[in-house]
Chain A
């Protein structure tokens, strides 16, 4: 069981290494969104742009993570490897969780690191940047788990991106609220423990629910 989990993660790592655009394109999108936000807000923000920059970065990460969510199972579905995973997995939920973790590790984590570095460079506030990093690590994994449910349900549909976003966005809102609140509280020196606790609770909740829901969705889509 653990071996198939590791095998799937290693396979995804090799795919990412062979196609580096999967990592770089989301980073380029993230930097573009942050830049456009900065240009549009120039001179309009009371109290300084750097106070709202972490929230902008958080929102940008959420939007960029949505962009490639539909590819989570789609490629495996189209090339037939998903059939093999469904037939030969000892526990399908564990294999699908491995897919989500791999997607998060090799597509989202580089994004989070760039987001952390950008915030640190532009605001020079290490403490806020660290909270941003931690909240993004917890938040983006939860977003990937939620995305896996929607990706599995819309797998067999053509042009599933819009439907996937429609399903995912309402579920993403609590994570966005708690994530941005935690950073705002950290930036004004207030306690942010309750927000981080809520983010962690949501992560645990979706770690339990998402693999089962995704497994149901994948089986239905292949049927």
Chain B
């Protein structure tokens, strides 16, 4: 049975007297992919941060399913990659797994191999390009596999091959009872598109 994970009810967000989100409601269900799209400054990132629990809405309520743990079941990747420049690729992924209480590190190498990144396994992240950093940060998703992925413009900076690979990972995650919310500037195929004005 498909169940509701998080409900946002009549959410508003005001910053410096400017209403960024006005009386907005959204239900995030299991096995769904959502694409929140809109122009620059329409409040996409703010909405994603509200769902993640980073930003407190000015008005409105957020309810979560009792079986859904807001601390353990969400994985958020924003505009920053969430990687330590001074650590190697392997160390970054290892600590991400440890922080998620996952001791199985065997899949790190295979995931890197899939994204053709295995040769960088012992390279410090500071020496990688922006696109490569983004791929490493996205690899964390499949390694940790939290129920809800919150991704802020995940396709930006990726080549066509990596975008297709990420889309297939997303489909696999959804078929395993997961959910995904992404932000972008356009409507996307195979996503529930939600326009923010």
Given contacts A18-B124, A80-B81, A87-B52, contact A3 B71 (CB under 8 A): no
Query: Given A19-B86, A90-B71, A222-B54, are A7 and B99 neighbors across the interface (CB < 8 Å)?
Result: yes
Q: Report B-chain residues with C-beta under 8 Å of the C-beta of A4.
A: 99, 101
Given known A-B contacts A14-B87, A18-B87, A88-B71, A80 and B80 have beta carbons under 8 A apart: yes
B84 and A83 contacting across the interface, CB-CB below 8 Å: no
Identify which of residues 52-86 in chain B touch chain A, using a CB-to-CB cut-off of 8 Å. Answer: 52-56, 71-72, 74-86
Give A50-101 interface residues, CB cut-off 8 Å to B.
75, 78-81, 83-84, 86-90
> Across the A-B interface, how many residue pairs have beta carbons closer than 8 Å?
75
Question: A15 an interface residue at 8 Å Cβ cutoff?
Answer: yes
- Closest-by-CB residue of A relative to B98 is A7
Minimum Cβ distance to chain A for residue B96 (Å) = 8
Task: Assess whether B80 is in contact with A223, with CB atoms less than 8 Å apart.
Answer: no
CB of B171, distance to nearest CB on chain A (Å): 24
Kindly list chain B residues whose C-beta atoms are within 8 Å of the C-beta of A125.
Answer: none
User: Is B115 positioned at the interface, with any CB of A under 8 Å from its CB?
Assistant: no
Is B84's CB under 8 angstroms from A86's CB? no
State whether B91 touches A88 (Cβ < 8 A). Answer: no
Which A residues are in CB contact (< 8 Å) with B53? 86-87
Task: Give CA–CA (A136, B53) in the complex, Å.
Answer: 39
Contacts of A78 in B (CB 8 A): 80
Judge whether B95 is part of the interface by a CB distance below 8 angstroms.
Answer: yes
Q: Determine if B100 is an interface residue (Cβ-Cβ < 8 Å).
A: yes
The closest CB in chain A to the CB of B76 belongs to A87
The interface residues of chain B, by DSSP majority, are classed as loop
Rounded to whole angstroms, the CA-CA distance of A53 and B2 in the bound complex is: 71
Please tell me if the beta carbons of A223 and B82 are within 8 angstroms of each other in the complex: no
Alpha-carbon separation in the docked complex, A222 to B82 (Å) = 14
Q: Are B84 and A87 in contact (CB under 8 A)?
A: no
Residues in chain B near residue A86, CB distance under 8 A: 53-54
- Count of interface residues, chain A, beta-carbon cutoff 8 Å: 25
| Distance (whole angstroms) from the CB of B38 to the closest CB of chain A | 21
Report the minimum CB–CB distance from A106 to chain B (whole Å).
12
Query: Chain A nearest CB: distance from B104 CB in Å?
Result: 14
Known A-B contacts A87-B74, A88-B74, A90-B71; A80 and B82 likewise in contact (beta carbons under 8 Å): yes
* A8 to B78 alpha-carbon distance, docked (Å): 21
B96's nearest neighbour on chain A, judged by CB, is A84
Residue from A8, A11, A79, A87 having most chain B Cβ neighbours under 10 A: A87
Cα distance A78–B78 in the bound complex, in angstroms: 12
Q: Are A81 and B124 in contact, CB atoms less than 8 angstroms apart?
A: no
Among A10, A79, A83, A90, point to the contact of B76 (Cβ < 8 A).
A83
Smallest Cβ-Cβ distance to A77: which chain B residue: B80
Which residues of A does B touch, CB under 8 Å? 3-4, 7-8, 10-11, 14-15, 18-19, 75, 78-81, 83-84, 86-90, 219, 222-223
Residues on B lying within 8 angstroms of A by beta carbon are 52-56, 71-72, 74-87, 91, 95-96, 98-101, 124
Known: A18-B124, A83-B76. 8 other contacts (CB 8 A): A15-B86, A18-B86, A79-B83, A81-B82, A81-B83, A83-B80, A89-B71, A222-B54
